[in-house]
Structures are given as structure tokens and as C-alpha cells.
Structure 1
Amino acid sequence: MNKIVINRKLPIWKLILGSLALVVGVISLFSSFKGFLLIGMGVFLLLTEGSEFDFKNGFYRKTKSILGVSLGSWKPIPKIEYVSVFKTNENTTLRSRTAETNVSKEIIKLNLFYDTNKKIEAYSTYKKDDAFAKAKQIASFLNIDILDATERESKWL
């Protein structure tokens, strides 16, 4: 296998709600214009981001996928120096008419570094084990090291 596809998993509630919105939207198209709104909501809920690597031909792409169909432009893979797995916070702003708040959630990201400080953001997840499994898979194809930066003291694996 010379190809790796890495997509963020959809929560089950998004999968159910998005699929339902798509189905009801398509049915509603025959009776009213509101079907387009429901289809848009379904697509928004089912959209996932990820990366795809074709090591045989030396290309990668950042993807946006919906129900298994991935879109994105292919670019040549540069000379990757190492894979970094690190912890950061993902911030979401919630607004209503009278209030606004920021919600912060810890997330694990996987980046591929090349040319000393340039990076390809390959994957993000909430599970540390999942990130390291993907990092090991990529590192084995490219024969490079993994930097574990999830703790205060970074270490090479």
C-alpha cells in the first residue's frame, strides 16, 4: 500500500443529522425552495477535512470530503525532515443576541516539517493514540523520525 488517506472522523450525531438533512432537503426540492437550505446544512454537517498521501507517485493533497468523495489539489511531497505530534487548543466562539463566549478544547495535531521550519498540517484529532498511529504510518513510509511534543519535554521517537 503506497497511499495513506487521513480523515477526521465524524461524530455519530453529525452523521445522522447531516444525512437526515440531505434526504429531507432532496425531497423538499420538489415542493419548495427550502430544500436548498436543508441540503446546505447537510453538506456542512457531513464535511470533513483530512490529507491524502500518494508515496508511489510523490504527491499529497489537503482534502475536504463528504460521504467518501474527496476534493483537493495534488502537490509534490517535499523532502520531509520529521513528523511532529503536538497538543494545542481549538477555540470555538459561541454567540447569541446578548452574549458571546469562547470554548477551548484540547486537540492533537500532526505536522510534517520540511525546509527547517515549513510545515504541512496533515491531521488533527482529539485522541493521542490515533495521532501517533498515523504519524508512525507516515514516518515508516518516509523513513523519518517522530517528534513527540505532546508533553512539556519534547522527545524523539
Structure 2
Amino acid sequence: MNNENIIISESNRPYWQLIIAAALFTLSLAFIVMLFQNIDLENKGKRLAGNIELILILFLLGTTFCSQKRVYLDLKKLKIKASYEVGPIKIGRWQPIKNSEYVSVFLRPKSDGSTVFEVNLWYERVKHIELYERDDYMDAFKIGYNISEKLNIDLLDATVPNESKWIDKNEWKSKINEQLS
């Protein structure tokens, strides 16, 4: 990571999801072609609306199977942008990072019974931005540590419910260096 920007990205989508997305996009394109070939100007009402609705549903489903979330941190300008991306199309807007206080790493239960480690940037006392989500503790913690270092703010380990603790980043850094040696 460089000194001015950080890009946090979800892992790439599995190939099976990309194949489903391609099939859904192909179906929506096929329905668009059929719609224009069989356009009936005298009887367009409900059939036209139904076809357009089906095309939109197929397109949106395809988008969900191939979209990717990225978070961009511009440390020089102190701005952040959460972005959802499909290929070159990026949807998101830059927001200033105001009064950043700390980065937290915590364990969040999911609706299916599994858990993930989530990294959040907390600012203005009670507001936060979800930066990263991963199944692996060390992966999430390294991201949280790097962001807290770049922003020169504290790091909170909240992975054990009701036992949150502030991390001594110098101690943690030396442990990581020992593991790499």
C-alpha cells in the first residue's frame, strides 16, 4: 500500500457466479432483441411492460452475481468512497473522513449461522463505515491494522463479545515481524 491511497476489495467472484451472470445478461439481451423484432405498435400495453420488467429483473440478477464492493481511502485528501462495481461501471461517491477515531475488528454473526470478521472505521463518536468483511481473522486484522496505522488512530479488537480491548500496535507489529522471520 502506498502512503496516499488504500483500496480495499472483496475477493473476486467465483467462476460459477460469473457464468450465471453471463447467462442472465445474455438472456436479457436476447429478450431485448426479441422485443424490438416483435414490436406491435397496435397492441403494446401489458406485453411490452411485462417484457421490460423481465429484462430488468434478469439484468439486475446478473449484476448481483458479478458486482464487487471496493472501498477507496484517499489519505492525502482524507476522503473515502464505498463503491459497487460491475466491470468498468463504478457506483459510489467520495465523502470526507471527519474526526476519525478508531478502527474496529469484530465478529459478526450472519443469518445462516456462520460468522465473519468485519472491519469498521468509526468517526464522529457513533458513526461508522464498513470497510472490509472476511472469514479469516488474521486477514481482517491486518487490514484493520494497516488502516489504523495510515490514519494514525487506535485499533480495537472486538472479536470476543463483551471483551473488547485496545491493541498495542507496537506490540502487535513486533509479533507479526517475529512470525515473518
User: Normalized against structure 2, the TM-score is what?
Assistant: 0.69
Once residues 149 and 11 of structure 1 are traced to their aligned partners in structure 2, the CA distance between those partners, rounded to angstroms, is 28
CA deviation map 1:95-122 (0-9, x unaligned): xxxxxxxx33212111112233332222
Structure 2: stretches of 5+ with no match in the other structure: 36-50, 170-181
Q: 1:69 aligns to what?
A: 89
- SS of 2:133's equivalent in the other structure is strand
Are residues 1:110 and 2:113 paired?
no
- SS of 1:31's equivalent in the other structure is helix
Once residues 110 and 88 of structure 2 are traced to their aligned partners in structure 1, the CA distance between those partners, rounded to angstroms, is 25
Counting helix residues as a fraction of each chain, which structure ranks higher?
2
Q: 1:79 aligns to what?
A: 99
Instruction: Please say if residues 97 and 123 of structure 2, whose CA atoms lie closer than 8 Å, have aligned partners that are also in contact.
Output: no
Aligned-partner residue type, residue 85 of structure 1: V
Once residues 68 and 108 of structure 1 are traced to their aligned partners in structure 2, the CA distance between those partners, rounded to angstroms, is 28
Are residues 1:44 and 2:58 paired?
no
Q: 2:164 aligns to what?
A: 154
Alignment partner for residue 23 of structure 1, among 23, 26, 35? 26
Once residues 107 and 143 of structure 2 are traced to their aligned partners in structure 1, the CA distance between those partners, rounded to angstroms, is 15
Aligned-partner residue type, residue 23 of structure 1: T
CA deviation map 1:2-59 (0-9, x unaligned): 2222232244122221133223432442124455443222112222334211112221
Structure 1: stretches of 5+ with no match in the other structure: 92-102
C-alpha distance 111-67 of structure 1, shift in aligned 2 (>3 A): same
CA deviation map 1:38-83 (0-9, x unaligned): 3222112222334211112221122222225321121111121211
C-alpha distance 116-36 of structure 1, shift in aligned 2 (>3 A): closer
Once residues 112 and 8 of structure 1 are traced to their aligned partners in structure 2, the CA distance between those partners, rounded to angstroms, is 17
Once residues 3 and 75 of structure 1 are traced to their aligned partners in structure 2, the CA distance between those partners, rounded to angstroms, is 14
Instruction: Please say if residues 27 and 35 of structure 1, whose CA atoms lie closer than 8 Å, have aligned partners that are also in contact.
Output: no
User: Normalized against structure 1, the TM-score is what?
Assistant: 0.78
Q: 2:7 aligns to what?
A: 5
- Asked which structure has the greater CA Rg, the reply is 2
Work out the percentage of aligned pairs sharing the same amino acid: 28
Once residues 67 and 126 of structure 1 are traced to their aligned partners in structure 2, the CA distance between those partners, rounded to angstroms, is 25
Once residues 43 and 75 of structure 1 are traced to their aligned partners in structure 2, the CA distance between those partners, rounded to angstroms, is 25
The alignment yields a C-alpha RMSD, in angstroms, of 2.2
Q: 1:121 aligns to what?
A: 130
